[in-house]
A and B are shown apart, each in its own frame.
Chain A
């Protein structure tokens, strides 16, 4: 009998458990016909402000809700709740990202059938959220004009896992000498072909384009449901 360790080949994703939960969530969201959009960005890029506007502007015609993640405080949920939408805060303690289990838990008691859009505002962080599938249909990465045009090159992974890039705070472009072409080019380098929308939640610039993109995603979603 040998005391040598025995090598066993396995093939197991480290985040298997999260992936399994996320797949189940995605299936439940599709069954219920709710289009789930997550928002990721660095702290201060304007996720909550953008979401305030999106919730307010989608509400006349759509049933919307949001889950919002932060390490501490319920401030963001309180801000978003003013829109009249259904909002719940997820406080992660010291955890730097949302995961599928947190989303699952936060949704207990919610009737997904009553929703058209559900937004998941991740913890402000451009690194860790990239590893965790939340079951979302669309992942939006936000980058503001004040952060520097090379942000996508510094954090390629989060851009690579996202579906749409939203350049925020476009109203500050002049003050910070923002170079839109440079930023767009850098986004295309790390995520070739990615859709980019430039907005200012403050002035409303670009908001219609973003809203239309979301609405067309929802209607495409419903078509594929019935097909």
Chain B
């Protein structure tokens, strides 16, 4: 359970990005989350409002876009989807030299900022 730490990292990252763009309040945060990131979506959604408290993100929504796992198999020379998340061998040749190329993402992809001039 490190989702509260992760949520705090999200808040810090978003604040830095928002400040650079002149926003004072953040309404929505878009996050891409891979199944191999080691982060549990439900636990993150639970921790997020606590991490936002007392910051310009307070009351914001966290929108999670799940990503899919992709492997590259050098034998088959192509990108493939694994059979299951607990079988990351090449689904075509069963080879052991496949490697994960996508699916561990944990990244902020967008923020919805309320421009400062509309603040009352």
Stretch from A170-178, A190-198, A212-220 at the B interface: A190-198
Q: Which residue of A lies closest to B94 (CB)?
A: A192
A97 contacts the other chain (Cβ, under 8 Å)? Answer: yes
Interface membership of chain A positions 138-166, coded 1 if the CB is closer than 8 angstroms to chain B and 0 otherwise: 00000000000000110011101100000
Stretch from A4-12, A73-81, A83-91, A200-208 at the B interface: A4-12
Q: What is the CA–CA distance of A192 and B93 in the complex, to the nearest angstrom?
A: 12
Q: Which residue of A lies closest to B106 (CB)?
A: A14
Question: Which size class do B's interface residues fall under?
Answer: 35 or more
The answer to whether A15 touches B106 (Cβ under 8 A) is: yes
Q: Pick from A13, A128, A158: contact of B2, CB below 8 A.
A: A128
**Neighbouring A residues of B90 by C-beta, 8 Å:** 192
Q: Which residue of B lies closest to A157 (CB)?
A: B38
A224 contacts the other chain (Cβ, under 8 Å)? Answer: no
A1-46 with Cβ < 8 A to chain B: 1-3, 5-18
Q: Pick from A10, A191, A193: contact of B17, CB below 8 A.
A: A10
Q: Pick from B87, B96, B117: contact of A193, CB below 8 A.
A: B96
Counting chain B CB atoms within 10 Å of each CB, the highest count among A6, A13, A18, A192 belongs to A192
Contacts A127-B2, A128-B1, A131-B38; A10 near B109 (Cβ below 8 A): yes
Contacts A7-B112, A10-B109, A12-B17; A192 near B31 (Cβ below 8 A): no
Q: Which residue of B lies closest to A13 (CB)?
A: B107
B84-120 with Cβ < 8 A to chain A: 85-90, 95-100, 104, 106-115, 117-118
The answer to whether B9 touches A17 (Cβ under 8 A) is: yes
| Majority-rule SS of B interface residues | mixed
**Count of A-B contacts with CB under 8 A?**
115
**Neighbouring B residues of A11 by C-beta, 8 Å:** 107-109
A95 contacts the other chain (Cβ, under 8 Å)? Answer: yes
CB distance from A9 to the nearest CB of B (A): 5
Question: Which size class do A's interface residues fall under?
Answer: 35 or more
The answer to whether A10 touches B108 (Cβ under 8 A) is: yes
Q: Pick from B2, B6, B27, B97: contact of A5, CB below 8 A.
A: B27
CB distance from B10 to the nearest CB of A (A): 5
The answer to whether B107 touches A153 (Cβ under 8 A) is: no
**Neighbouring B residues of A6 by C-beta, 8 Å:** 23, 112-115
The answer to whether B1 touches A9 (Cβ under 8 A) is: no
**Neighbouring B residues of A16 by C-beta, 8 Å:** 13
4 shortest A-B CB distances, which residue pairs? A128-B2, A5-B112, A192-B96, A5-B27
Q: What is A's interface to B at a CB cutoff of 8 Å?
A: 1-3, 5-18, 95-97, 127-128, 130-131, 152-153, 156-158, 160-161, 188-193
Q: What are 22 contact pairs spanning A and B, CB under 8 A?
A: A1-B117, A1-B118, A6-B115, A10-B110, A11-B108, A12-B17, A13-B108, A14-B6, A14-B13, A14-B31, A14-B106, A15-B6, A15-B106, A153-B86, A156-B36, A156-B88, A157-B37, A157-B38, A158-B38, A160-B36, A161-B38, A193-B96
